[in-house]
Amino acid sequence: MFYREAGDFKTSYVDDSQTFPIRVDRYGYYALLAVAFGVLPFLVNDYWVNAVLLPFLIYAIAAIGLNILVGYCGQVSLGTGGFMAVGAYACYKLMTGFPEINIFFHVILSGGITAAVCVLFGLPSLRIKGFYLAVATLAAQFFLVWLFNRVGWFYNYSASGQINAPERTVFGIAVTGAQNPPWAAYLFCLVFTVGCALIARNLTRGMAGRKWMAIRDMDIAAEIIGVNPLKAKLTAFAVSGFFVGIAGALFFSVYLGAIEVGEAFGINKSFLVLFMVIIGGLGSIFGSFAGAAFLVLLPVFLKNVLVGGLGWPTDLAAHLEFMIVGALILIFLIAEPHGLAQLWRVTKEKLRLWPFPH
């Protein structure tokens, strides 16, 4: 009724393979982009940017990256935290080593470096599958964190072992450092999030995505019809690493500004991003956003309701928050094991016929 695809005919294969084939979806997407780029930067304050928007945008990139590996290619990874750390430290070394180059390129290069590291740790996937691969990537997680803690070159031998993002500007406006205006940080991350989502969508709707999904669904059959498993798996690791590295670089340089590797990129981070992917929906770009939104916004929302609304003490609210988030995750997964993306698909199916389902 409200959700119309009737009369929305496709007359060419180009039209049929576009990102949002249904007109209503497409306009909604354009409107969302217009608000995100044109309206929000003028409205947001420091709290909104740092508590909600930045973590959402950055985790969305990481979730897209992990979704390509786990959701599309079927290779389980528990190394996301470690790979984000690679992005962060690559960005730090580039920022301090080549201050004359724009931060924009540093972030992209960090993604490239992470992609290379990710491919290296993806090599075992050619031999081992499933849980065993998860354990192998877990080794990457612990090794990388240990490496960045121990080798002084990575943190420029600073006394604290922390790394701090120096101030860097884009078009004369600071996006990193202590003095960056919130809207600039937000816009900088938004550009990367939109760019990454578009690239991910382009790859997954074309032949690269089909090869990954073929490997995921039935690897032997995929090989017999002509998919080179080595290349397909390693490109998935590379693309995934590229996105995760960008997320790590932004997380460090724009969002936190100063990090200690074990705290910021520990095993918790790997699980957090993996949960985002699972709750959002495996094999769905939209699901990556939904999952990131769910796990970033829900704690903020609960805190505001419990502390701000009901006036509970902060520590009590913090504990309850854990319990409620945990319970909600369980409920969601029992109600819809395929995640929020599937829930959204079902809703759309229902809305096509509503209010006359027969």
Partner 1 sequence: MLDASEGHVTADGRKIGGVVMEMRNITLRFGGVVAIKDISFDIREGEIRAIIGPNGAGKSSMLNVISGFYNPQEGEVWYKGQKRPPMKPYQVAQQGIARTFQNIALFEGMSVLDNVMTGRIRQMKTGLLAQALWKGRAEAEEVANRAAVEKIIDFLEIQHIRKTPVSRLPYGLKKRVELARALAAEPSILLLDEPMAGMNVEEKEDMSRFILDVNDEFGTTTVLIEHDMGVVMDLSDRVVVMDYGKKIGDGTPEEVRSNQAVIDAYLGVAHD
Q: What does the binding site for partner 1 look like in residue numbers (CB under 8 A)?
A: 12-14, 16-17, 199, 202-203, 205-208, 210-211, 213-214, 216-218, 220-229, 235, 239, 283
Q: Minimum distance between the CB of residue 13 and partner 1, rounded to whole angstroms?
A: 4
**Contacting residues for 170 by C-beta, under 8 A, at least 6 apart:** 102, 103, 104, 184, 188
**Number of separate helices (H) and strands (E) present in the chain:** 17, 4
Round to whole Å and give the CA distance between 287 and 277. 7
Q: Minimum distance between the CB of residue 57 and partner 1, rounded to whole angstroms?
A: 20
> Toward partner 1, which CB reaches closer, 62 or 236?
236
302, 324 Cβ separation under 8 angstroms: yes
236, 32 Cβ separation under 8 angstroms: no
- Burial of residue 166 (CB within 10 Å: 0-12, 13-18, 19+) is middle
> Toward partner 1, which CB reaches closer, 55 or 71?
71
> Toward partner 1, which CB reaches closer, 28 or 206?
206
> Toward partner 1, which CB reaches closer, 101 or 221?
221
DSSP string, 53-67: IHHHHHHHHHHHHHH
Q: Minimum distance between the CB of residue 327 and partner 1, rounded to whole angstroms?
A: 29
Q: Minimum distance between the CB of residue 62 and partner 1, rounded to whole angstroms?
A: 18
> Toward partner 1, which CB reaches closer, 203 or 298?
203
78, 138 Cβ separation under 8 angstroms: yes
Round to whole Å and give the CA distance between 295 and 32. 21
Q: Minimum distance between the CB of residue 235 and partner 1, rounded to whole angstroms?
A: 6
